Structure 1
Amino acid sequence: MSNYYDYEKLLNQYKVSNSKSWIKLLKGLTTSQASSILRQLIPDYFCSNASLELHQSLKKTFPEFLKMIENTSAYFSSFPKSGIPAQSKSISTHVSPNMNAGIGIAKNSKSQILINSKLQETIDYLKPQSVSEQNWLKLTQSLFKYNNGLGAPWYRHLAKSRYLLDIKNKDLYLTIEKSLSISPIPVFGGTSGLNSVLDMFGGAGTPIVFPSTYWGNMNLISDQKGLLKIKSDYIDINGDVHLNKLEETLNTLKEKGFHKVCLYFNFPHNPSGVVLSKKQALSLSKIIQKHACENFQIINVCDEPYFPFVRGKQAIKSPISAYLQPLYNKNIITFATINGTKRDGMYGFRHSDLIILLAHDIEKDTINEIENNLLAGYFRGCFSFSNSINQYLLARSLSQDPLVALKSPHDLEISQDYLKSESDSIQYMQECMNHSISFLDQISHLKRVQQTEDACGGFFASYQLDEVLVSAGITTMDIHQIGLKHNVGVISAGSYIRINGLIETESIQKFCSNLQETIDSLLMKKN
């Protein structure tokens, strides 16, 4: 039985309707169970003063946003204005370094960060001859100090410049900067970024709409967050796009009384390789604009790790998130994770950029309040501080400036050398994929998903089993398991076999031969 709270006093204080029924229910629960319900029923009771102040402000300036974060962790995430970070900033502004006893960093007698000498030696290998010892010391001290939880300003500026350069569509480019009012936030990989988005803006019981095809880690994240998973055939099992199916799903959710929905988009799609055409992307945007309103808010969740690896004349060359910018609809927010892991090859570093696109006519003061109070508070609670080494490695590469962390953000720009190198990578991937597919398509009893080359992307080629294999009771997992004995490695992704198309040119023929042997041996065994 729960007796930690005075239920009658609390529910009357917050004027909860049907309070007697609630009190009866709560008294029959454990304290932990009752706390979970109360957190949903009277969330303001659990908020800090800083959060309550932020809510009052947003209620006046951006009530749609406040409604979106109800019953989510973001509702409780405001940064205390007089907390330790704020005090530390005041000290660093007004007090000389040798008199700063408020800092939470161990320093030596020269007021320098106390870095293990062997670690310093390792970092020093990155020093180019053109940089003086004095400037390199300044740089390393800058990197090793605690960095803003939302990312270093110099990195965020370059990440914003990069996203804007990705917008190849002229019409989108004219409007996107208004939506990109908050600079990208570096996060610990795309999955981590999307996890944060669904934690901040999803909330238990919120529906999240997925295509009927494989969606990997998002399945686990949704279960952890208590999201209601909804499948829609807007991408069907054959890799074909049916946007009318998405509209049907939205209509059904509205009819069932939901007031908020998360829509998951993954283009280039894993594992089918589907990429939308410009016409499809514009149609998708219109559907979302049509349905998003005060009583049915839409949160676009764009998972874009395989951008910009697209192929085909019809494929959109800009991120899908740019097409889904809210424009002037305040009941839409679009998030995307992009860059880092696959685009830059930083797999083990776990790095991605979280893009946040808001409606165009939000006041600057409101944007600052959301960024500096809510987002800063949330990410401080998740990670404390951001990873400056990851940011430095990528920012130095993007700018080709070894002292990037000491520069004013507005003095930095993306290097043409980096853009040329990325263009070469895109071309290489296109050629490799086309070469591998020409051999893979010859394997008997496999049907490639996304047959058209007009709009596709990523570096996976996915295949379904034909009727001969299905009728024989052979599954994709059978092919994965027996393939191990034939020296061929493929992934079973639901009803697909997923194959990394970047197989060495010299090995592709042998790979296909081994895969064919695997299939033939399974058929022989079944027969």
Structure 2
Amino acid sequence: MNSIALQLNKSLEGTQAGSLLSEMGKRFFFPRGIIAQAAEASKKATKYNATAGMAFNNNQPLILSSIKNSITGLEAKDYITYAPTPGDRELRELWLEKIKIKNPSIKEIHTSLPIIVPGLTSGISNCADLFLNPGDNIVIPDLHWGNYDLILKTRKEINIHTFKFFRDGRINIQSLKETLISSAKNGKVSLLLNFPNNPTGYSPTKSEAESIAQAIKDVALMDIKILVMADDAYFGLFYEDEIYKESIFSLIANLHNNVLAVKIDGATKEDYAWGLRVGFITFAGKGLTKEHTDALEQKLMGSVRSSFSSSPKLSQNLVKKALLSLDYSRDKAEFESLMKARYLKVKEILEKRTNGKRLKELPFNSGYFMTFETTPGYNERLREELLEVGVGTIALGDTSFRIAYSSVDKSNLEDLFSIIFSVSDNLQ
């Protein structure tokens, strides 16, 4: 094993993070090779810099005129050259500052500096590199984003164990706890939670969030090491007062010495920047010091360097520019108001409906979606019939039927649901 990797492992000895590392995670390190040497040169090579594989003329990067003419407001060096492996330092610091503003409970809790990845998919995959071996167990809700299966089961060969997400219209804490205990293997287990949940559009109340944290703590007290990944893709889109307004990460970050918390978030949905592919990974855990989180960052940088190398510099600078803009808060408030108005309209439609009764709505209070529960196989038949009348929806598994009301103007929602209910009633 590489000597740098061995040193990082030694730094993490005795911590929950060190105990949770996968075999690949133990091997990971950030090499002091071309990237590290080029970074050094960028600070000290004031005369000539002949390190990185880029082409310059008169100290300016070469750039095709067709690209240059398409991008205004940024200098070529701010988007055409390589970004650092962990991402733009200023953006990482700015994102952490925003995390702590939005999650005041962790204001005084030590966390790592976020590492930038190209979206939430990459974030989950890179975390799996660090902490999950093929054959390990991970717990997720039975109602979950379909890409979890592809990332974890198909790509990483990890065993997925699901807990029943709802019971009597609330999160099924008992099922969560029992599944965590039964899925523990070799003294450890992993958990992936997503709020607002995709596909249901449900976020926990304050009471539910606290109960989730207590269930995790109860399992940790059984001397089981737990990796908790918070997929916060839709964070902030909360439409009801009773919702816990912080990330579940806030309640896990300092919960117990056997728990490692990982926040995976990004500008993708949170800042309406879907195609820019800017995500972040942040670590925290009770007892973890800066030395420990620095070691985790170095290992994660090894995963980044060996997979996608670095995230696009253009995307990072566009997001940074947005976060620093005087219009940012105003725009966010306007869009959140727009989304809430659509949510309330859907609630109104569902409350007064007289048809479409074969579709049972699941609880929703946040995010982009709402989901109906159907009889097995009926969801796909309904989806296909709706396509024939020009309406696109999503069938998930055998019984989930998802509507992204986020993508339909409020003025058209009445018509959308009228068509869905009518087609459903006429489907034999």
Normalised TM-score (structure 2): 0.91
CA-atom RMSD in angstroms: 2.3
For the structure 1 residues 510 and 85, does the alpha-carbon distance in structure 2 shift closer, same or farther, using more than 3 Å as the test?
Answer: closer
The corresponding residue for 1:445 is: 357
Aligned equivalents of 1:90, 1:516: Cα separation in 2: 62
Counterpart pick for 2:53 among 87, 90, 104:
104
Aligned equivalents of 2:19, 2:350: Cα separation in 1: 50
| Counterpart mapping for 1:34-183 below 5 A | 47-59=1-13, 62-71=14-23, 73-81=24-32, 83-97=33-47, 99-108=48-57, 110-123=58-71, 125-126=72-73, 139-167=75-103, 172=105, 175-180=106-111, 182-183=112-113
| Counterpart mapping for 1:95-494 below 5 A | 95-97=45-47, 99-108=48-57, 110-123=58-71, 125-126=72-73, 139-167=75-103, 172=105, 175-180=106-111, 182-223=112-153, 224-233=155-164, 235-236=165-166, 240-254=170-184, 257-292=185-220, 295-327=223-255, 329-359=256-286, 361-371=287-297, 373-400=298-325, 415=326, 417-441=327-351, 442=353, 443-451=355-363, 456-465=365-374, 470=375, 475-494=378-397
Aligned equivalents of 1:176, 1:331: Cα separation in 2: 21
Aligned equivalents of 1:64, 1:520: Cα separation in 2: 53
Secondary structure of the corresponding residue to residue 261 of structure 1: strand
Aligned equivalents of 1:370, 1:225: Cα separation in 2: 20
Over the matched positions of the two proteins, sequence identity in percent amounts to 25
Secondary structure of the corresponding residue to residue 12 of structure 2: helix
Shift of 1:176: 4.2
For the structure 1 residues 294 and 440, does the alpha-carbon distance in structure 2 shift closer, same or farther, using more than 3 Å as the test?
Answer: closer
Aligned equivalents of 1:348, 1:363: Cα separation in 2: 35
Shift of 1:497: 1.6
Q: Amino acid of the residue matched to residue 291 of structure 1?
A: V
For the structure 1 residues 336 and 93, does the alpha-carbon distance in structure 2 shift closer, same or farther, using more than 3 Å as the test?
Answer: closer
Question: What are structure 1's unaligned runs of at least 5 residues?
Answer: 1-46, 128-138, 401-414
For the structure 1 residues 93 and 310, does the alpha-carbon distance in structure 2 shift closer, same or farther, using more than 3 Å as the test?
Answer: closer
Aligned equivalents of 2:95, 2:400: Cα separation in 1: 35
Aligned equivalents of 1:339, 1:70: Cα separation in 2: 25
Matched, 1:497 2:425: no
Aligned equivalents of 1:367, 1:126: Cα separation in 2: 35
Q: Deviations over 1:40-65 (max 9, x none)?
A: xxxxxxx2222123223433xx4432
User: 1:339 touches 1:353 (CA, 8 Å); kept in 2?
Assistant: yes
Counterpart pick for 1:511 among 388, 392, 416:
416
Q: Amino acid of the residue matched to residue 259 of structure 1?
A: G
Aligned equivalents of 2:108, 2:311: Cα separation in 1: 24
Q: Which has the larger radius of gyration?
A: 1
Shift of 1:376: 2.1
Secondary structure of the corresponding residue to residue 509 of structure 1: helix
| Farther-moved stretch of structure 1 (387-396 vs 235-244) | 235-244
Secondary structure of the corresponding residue to residue 338 of structure 1: strand
Q: Amino acid of the residue matched to residue 74 of structure 1?
A: G
Shift of 1:252: 2.2
Q: Amino acid of the residue matched to residue 50 of structure 1?
A: I
Of structures 1 and 2, the one scoring higher in RCO (CA 8 A, sep 6+) is 2
User: 1:486 touches 1:517 (CA, 8 Å); kept in 2?
Assistant: no
For the structure 1 residues 248 and 426, does the alpha-carbon distance in structure 2 shift closer, same or farther, using more than 3 Å as the test?
Answer: same
Secondary structure of the corresponding residue to residue 513 of structure 1: helix
Shift of 1:294: 8.9
For the structure 1 residues 304 and 92, does the alpha-carbon distance in structure 2 shift closer, same or farther, using more than 3 Å as the test?
Answer: closer
Aligned equivalents of 1:318, 1:191: Cα separation in 2: 22
Aligned equivalents of 1:364, 1:354: Cα separation in 2: 16
Normalised TM-score (structure 1): 0.75
For the structure 1 residues 392 and 438, does the alpha-carbon distance in structure 2 shift closer, same or farther, using more than 3 Å as the test?
Answer: same
Shift of 1:293: 5.7
Aligned equivalents of 1:309, 1:489: Cα separation in 2: 23
For the structure 1 residues 369 and 428, does the alpha-carbon distance in structure 2 shift closer, same or farther, using more than 3 Å as the test?
Answer: same
User: 2:11 touches 2:291 (CA, 8 Å); kept in 1?
Assistant: no
Aligned equivalents of 2:291, 2:79: Cα separation in 1: 29
Shift of 1:177: 4.1
Q: Amino acid of the residue matched to residue 507 of structure 1?
A: N
Aligned equivalents of 1:214, 1:243: Cα separation in 2: 16
Shift of 1:501: 1.8
Shift of 1:440: 4.2
Aligned equivalents of 1:511, 1:90: Cα separation in 2: 57
User: 1:148 touches 1:385 (CA, 8 Å); kept in 2?
Assistant: yes
